[in-house]
Chain A
Protein backbone atom coordinates (compact mmCIF):
# COMPACT_ATOMS: atom_id res chain seq x y z
CA UNK A 1 0.00 0.00 0.00
CA UNK A 2 1.09 3.59 -0.63
CA UNK A 3 2.99 5.13 2.28
CA UNK A 4 4.36 8.64 2.55
CA UNK A 5 6.36 9.50 5.66
CA UNK A 6 7.48 13.09 6.20
CA UNK A 7 10.36 14.14 8.43
CA UNK A 8 12.47 17.20 9.14
CA UNK A 9 9.90 19.46 10.76
CA UNK A 10 10.60 21.38 13.94
CA UNK A 11 10.99 24.81 15.45
CA UNK A 12 13.14 27.35 13.61
CA UNK A 13 13.72 31.05 14.03
CA UNK A 14 12.47 33.58 11.52
CA UNK A 15 14.91 33.80 8.63
CA UNK A 16 16.16 30.28 9.20
CA UNK A 17 16.08 27.19 7.00
CA UNK A 18 14.69 23.67 7.16
CA UNK A 19 14.71 20.76 4.75
CA UNK A 20 11.74 18.41 4.75
CA UNK A 21 11.98 14.87 3.45
CA UNK A 22 9.27 12.44 2.39
CA UNK A 23 10.04 8.73 2.16
CA UNK A 24 7.78 7.03 -0.36
CA UNK A 25 6.95 3.33 -0.51
CA UNK A 26 4.34 1.02 -1.97
CA UNK A 27 4.56 2.55 -5.45
CA UNK A 28 7.17 3.55 -8.03
CA UNK A 29 8.03 7.15 -7.16
CA UNK A 30 9.63 7.78 -10.56
CA UNK A 31 6.27 7.26 -12.29
CA UNK A 32 4.36 9.98 -10.48
CA UNK A 33 4.33 13.72 -9.94
CA UNK A 34 4.42 14.86 -6.32
CA UNK A 35 3.21 17.81 -4.25
CA UNK A 36 3.74 19.58 -0.94
CA UNK A 37 0.63 21.03 0.71
CA UNK A 38 0.50 22.88 4.03
CA UNK A 39 -2.12 23.66 6.63
CA UNK A 40 -1.66 26.45 9.15
CA UNK A 41 -3.14 25.81 12.62
CA UNK A 42 -6.93 25.96 12.42
CA UNK A 43 -6.87 26.94 8.73
CA UNK A 44 -7.57 25.31 5.39
CA UNK A 45 -5.32 23.49 2.95
CA UNK A 46 -2.81 25.52 0.95
CA UNK A 47 -0.92 24.01 -1.96
CA UNK A 48 2.81 24.78 -1.86
CA UNK A 49 4.70 23.08 -4.69
CA UNK A 50 4.55 20.50 -7.50
CA UNK A 51 7.26 18.49 -9.24
CA UNK A 52 6.85 16.39 -12.37
CA UNK A 53 7.77 12.70 -12.30
CA UNK A 54 11.25 13.36 -13.68
CA UNK A 55 11.83 16.69 -11.94
CA UNK A 56 11.54 18.45 -15.29
CA UNK A 57 8.86 20.90 -14.24
CA UNK A 58 8.32 22.56 -10.89
CA UNK A 59 5.58 24.97 -9.82
CA UNK A 60 5.21 26.98 -6.62
CA UNK A 61 2.61 29.08 -4.91
CA UNK A 62 3.52 32.79 -5.13
CA UNK A 63 4.22 33.23 -1.41
CA UNK A 64 7.12 30.74 -1.44
CA UNK A 65 8.69 31.45 -4.84
CA UNK A 66 12.38 32.20 -4.47
CA UNK A 67 12.43 30.83 -0.89
CA UNK A 68 11.35 27.18 -1.20
CA UNK A 69 12.67 24.52 -3.56
CA UNK A 70 11.06 21.17 -4.29
CA UNK A 71 13.25 18.30 -5.48
CA UNK A 72 13.25 14.53 -5.71
CA UNK A 73 15.65 11.60 -5.70
CA UNK A 74 13.82 8.80 -7.48
CA UNK A 75 16.69 6.41 -6.87
CA UNK A 76 16.14 6.85 -3.12
CA UNK A 77 12.34 7.08 -3.27
CA UNK A 78 12.46 10.44 -1.55
CA UNK A 79 10.85 13.85 -2.08
CA UNK A 80 12.30 17.01 -0.55
CA UNK A 81 11.30 20.57 0.28
CA UNK A 82 14.11 23.01 1.04
CA UNK A 83 12.70 25.99 2.92
CA UNK A 84 14.80 29.14 3.31
CA UNK A 85 14.13 32.62 4.70
CA UNK A 86 11.32 31.22 6.79
CA UNK A 87 8.62 33.53 8.07
CA UNK A 88 6.12 33.13 10.93
CA UNK A 89 3.35 32.75 8.34
CA UNK A 90 5.07 29.58 7.08
CA UNK A 91 4.10 27.89 10.35
CA UNK A 92 1.97 24.89 9.37
CA UNK A 93 1.71 21.14 9.06
CA UNK A 94 3.40 20.23 5.78
CA UNK A 95 1.98 17.27 3.87
CA UNK A 96 3.79 15.28 1.22
CA UNK A 97 1.30 14.08 -1.39
CA UNK A 98 1.32 11.78 -4.41
CA UNK A 99 -0.31 12.76 -7.70
CA UNK A 100 -2.52 10.37 -9.66
CA UNK A 101 -0.42 10.97 -12.78
CA UNK A 102 3.10 11.78 -13.90
CA UNK A 103 2.45 15.38 -14.95
CA UNK A 104 0.17 18.41 -14.68
CA UNK A 105 -3.58 17.85 -15.00
CA UNK A 106 -4.55 15.38 -12.33
CA UNK A 107 -4.26 15.89 -8.61
CA UNK A 108 -3.48 14.22 -5.30
CA UNK A 109 -4.62 10.71 -4.48
CA UNK A 110 -2.53 9.94 -1.38
CA UNK A 111 -1.31 12.06 1.52
CA UNK A 112 1.31 11.59 4.20
CA UNK A 113 0.55 12.24 7.87
CA UNK A 114 2.33 15.57 7.87
CA UNK A 115 5.20 17.20 9.73
CA UNK A 116 4.84 20.37 11.79
CA UNK A 117 7.01 23.39 11.04
CA UNK A 118 6.94 26.22 13.55
CA UNK A 119 8.68 29.51 12.76
CA UNK A 120 9.24 31.67 15.80
CA UNK A 121 9.64 35.43 15.69
Chain B
Protein backbone atom coordinates (compact mmCIF):
# COMPACT_ATOMS: atom_id res chain seq x y z
CA UNK B 1 0.00 0.00 0.00
CA UNK B 2 1.65 3.22 -1.20
CA UNK B 3 1.48 6.45 0.79
CA UNK B 4 0.58 8.28 -2.43
CA UNK B 5 -2.45 6.96 -4.31
CA UNK B 6 -2.47 6.76 -8.09
CA UNK B 7 -4.91 4.92 -10.37
CA UNK B 8 -3.28 1.67 -11.51
CA UNK B 9 -4.15 2.27 -15.13
CA UNK B 10 -5.18 4.94 -17.61
CA UNK B 11 -5.76 4.94 -21.32
CA UNK B 12 -6.46 7.17 -24.28
CA UNK B 13 -6.37 7.32 -28.04
CA UNK B 14 -3.76 9.22 -30.05
CA UNK B 15 -4.32 12.97 -29.85
CA UNK B 16 -6.42 12.78 -26.69
CA UNK B 17 -5.67 14.41 -23.35
CA UNK B 18 -5.29 12.18 -20.30
CA UNK B 19 -4.84 13.06 -16.66
CA UNK B 20 -3.23 10.98 -13.93
CA UNK B 21 -4.00 11.83 -10.32
CA UNK B 22 -1.85 11.49 -7.21
CA UNK B 23 -3.45 11.80 -3.79
CA UNK B 24 -1.58 12.25 -0.53
CA UNK B 25 -1.84 14.08 2.76
CA UNK B 26 -0.76 17.22 4.57
CA UNK B 27 2.55 15.65 5.59
CA UNK B 28 3.62 14.88 2.04
CA UNK B 29 1.98 16.54 -0.98
CA UNK B 30 0.43 19.21 1.20
CA UNK B 31 3.81 20.54 2.29
CA UNK B 32 6.38 19.47 -0.28
CA UNK B 33 7.17 19.59 -3.99
CA UNK B 34 5.68 16.90 -6.23
CA UNK B 35 7.77 15.22 -8.90
CA UNK B 36 6.62 13.02 -11.78
CA UNK B 37 8.63 10.30 -13.51
CA UNK B 38 8.09 8.34 -16.72
CA UNK B 39 9.37 4.77 -17.01
CA UNK B 40 9.33 3.25 -20.46
CA UNK B 41 9.34 -0.57 -20.60
CA UNK B 42 12.71 -2.02 -19.62
CA UNK B 43 14.35 1.32 -18.89
CA UNK B 44 15.24 3.49 -15.91
CA UNK B 45 12.79 6.20 -14.83
CA UNK B 46 13.12 9.67 -16.32
CA UNK B 47 12.18 13.00 -14.76
CA UNK B 48 9.09 14.56 -16.37
CA UNK B 49 7.97 17.26 -13.94
CA UNK B 50 9.74 18.81 -10.94
CA UNK B 51 8.58 21.24 -8.26
CA UNK B 52 4.90 20.55 -9.03
CA UNK B 53 4.73 22.06 -12.50
CA UNK B 54 8.21 22.66 -13.93
CA UNK B 55 9.43 20.84 -17.03
CA UNK B 56 13.11 19.95 -17.47
CA UNK B 57 14.62 20.95 -20.77
CA UNK B 58 13.85 18.37 -23.42
CA UNK B 59 10.47 17.36 -22.02
CA UNK B 60 7.72 18.32 -24.48
CA UNK B 61 5.17 20.90 -23.36
CA UNK B 62 2.50 18.24 -23.93
CA UNK B 63 3.33 17.20 -20.37
CA UNK B 64 2.14 19.43 -17.54
CA UNK B 65 1.82 19.12 -13.78
CA UNK B 66 -0.33 20.78 -11.17
CA UNK B 67 -0.88 20.61 -7.43
CA UNK B 68 -3.76 21.66 -5.21
CA UNK B 69 -3.81 21.00 -1.49
CA UNK B 70 -2.96 17.36 -0.90
CA UNK B 71 -3.40 16.22 -4.49
CA UNK B 72 -1.43 16.55 -7.69
CA UNK B 73 -2.00 15.61 -11.28
CA UNK B 74 -0.08 14.99 -14.48
CA UNK B 75 -1.71 15.89 -17.77
CA UNK B 76 -0.60 14.61 -21.15
CA UNK B 77 -2.10 16.30 -24.18
CA UNK B 78 -1.82 15.24 -27.81
CA UNK B 79 -1.28 11.65 -26.70
CA UNK B 80 1.25 9.68 -28.76
CA UNK B 81 2.06 5.99 -28.94
CA UNK B 82 5.50 6.62 -27.42
CA UNK B 83 3.83 7.95 -24.27
CA UNK B 84 2.86 4.38 -23.37
CA UNK B 85 4.72 3.87 -20.10
CA UNK B 86 4.43 3.73 -16.32
CA UNK B 87 4.09 7.08 -14.55
CA UNK B 88 5.00 7.72 -10.91
CA UNK B 89 4.45 10.68 -8.60
CA UNK B 90 6.81 11.27 -5.68
CA UNK B 91 7.44 13.69 -2.84
CA UNK B 92 8.97 13.93 0.62
CA UNK B 93 6.91 12.94 3.65
CA UNK B 94 7.73 15.04 6.71
CA UNK B 95 6.14 12.59 9.16
CA UNK B 96 8.04 9.59 7.80
CA UNK B 97 11.27 11.52 7.04
CA UNK B 98 11.35 9.67 3.76
CA UNK B 99 10.66 9.98 0.07
CA UNK B 100 7.36 8.40 -0.96
CA UNK B 101 6.30 7.21 -4.39
CA UNK B 102 2.85 6.55 -5.77
CA UNK B 103 2.12 2.99 -6.83
CA UNK B 104 2.44 3.94 -10.48
CA UNK B 105 -0.04 4.32 -13.34
CA UNK B 106 0.29 2.24 -16.48
CA UNK B 107 -0.72 4.36 -19.45
CA UNK B 108 -1.98 2.55 -22.52
CA UNK B 109 -2.37 4.31 -25.86
CA UNK B 110 -5.19 2.55 -27.67
Contact = CB atoms under 8 A, between A and B. Distances in A.
Q: Do A and B share a complex?
A: yes
Interface of A: 35, 37, 44-47, 50, 59-62, 95, 100, 104-114
Interface string B59-82: 000000000000000000000000
A42 B38 CA distance: 15
Contacts of A100: 50
Contact of A106 (B33, B45, B101): B33
Contacts of A112: 44
Contacts of A104: 92
B50 A107 contact: yes
Interface residues of B, number: 27
A45 B88 contact: yes
B106 to A, nearest CB: 10
A46 B2 CA distance: 9
A111 B43 CA distance: 10
B88 A50 contact: no
B27 to A, nearest CB: 14
A110 B47 contact: yes
Interface in B90-107: 90-92, 96-104
Given A105-B92, A107-B50, A109-B47, 8 more contacts: A45-B90, A45-B101, A50-B98, A106-B33, A106-B51, A108-B47, A109-B56, A112-B44
